[in-house]
Amino acid sequence: MAAVLRAFFFYIFLVFIVRVVGRRPGKQITPFEFVLVFFMGGLALTAMVGDDASLTNALLQIITIAFAHYGVAFLRSRSNRLARLFDGTPLILMKDGLWRAETLSKMGIQDDDVMATARDQGILTLDQIDLAILERNGEISIVKKEAE
């Protein structure tokens, strides 16, 4: 029963810490924030099932990571250079009907992935796309051509 109570406690504690540290919707979570969530979850899991079952040790580790994340997020908001380092920059996948093959290849994206996103927006053909961008959060944005 102690393991169940410990799991419940860490669930509530992690939800609280993640709410305190940041409030982005799921689709806007950056890779930087995914690392935070998984890392803190791993620390909690280690405290629940690992040899070192010290509740205090686990809480201090999670709080330390939360403060580190808050500090780095604060620095990112003050420095564009740090923001680009942690979050990346938007990348153009297609412009004026031409694919950026090198960017697609480096990012491991197929042209079909871009077209799937376009179809979600009601765009059926390439000639309707003005611009396709891989955003910092990993989503693909499509800019439709203006009607002439």
Per-residue pLDDT tens for 20-49? Answer: 665 554 455 666 666 777 777 777 777 666
Q: Domain ranges for the chain, please list them.
A: 1-86, 89-144
- DSSP-assigned letters across all residues of 46-106: HHHHSS---HHHHHHHHHHHHHHHHHHHHHHHH-HHHHHHHH---EEEEETTEE-HHHHHH
Task: For Cα atoms 102, 107, 108, give the angle at the middle one, nearest 5 degrees.
Answer: 95
The 10s digit of each residue's pLDDT in 98-144 is 999 999 888 888 989 899 999 998 998 888 899 999 987 778 999 99
The answer to whether the CB of 48 falls within 8 A of the CB of 5 is no
Q: Is the pLDDT of residue 50 over 50?
A: yes
Question: What residue type is 65 in one-letter code?
Answer: I
Percentage of residues in the chain with pLDDT exceeding 90?
14
SS3 call for 118: helix
- Tell me the pairing of strands 98-99 and 129-134: unpaired
SS3 4: helix
pLDDT classification of 70: cutoffs 50, 70, 90:
confident
Section 55-74 average pLDDT = 79
Give the whole-angstrom CA distance, residue 89 versus residue 47: 36
In the DSSP assignment, the letter for residue 110 is -
Whether pTM exceeds 0.85:
no
> What's the CATH number of domain 89-144, 3.40.50.720, 3.30.240.20, 1.10.760.10, 3.90.220.20?
3.30.240.20
Most confident range, picked from 1-10, 67-76, 127-136 = 127-136
Rounded to whole angstroms, the Cα distance separating 62 from 142 reads 38
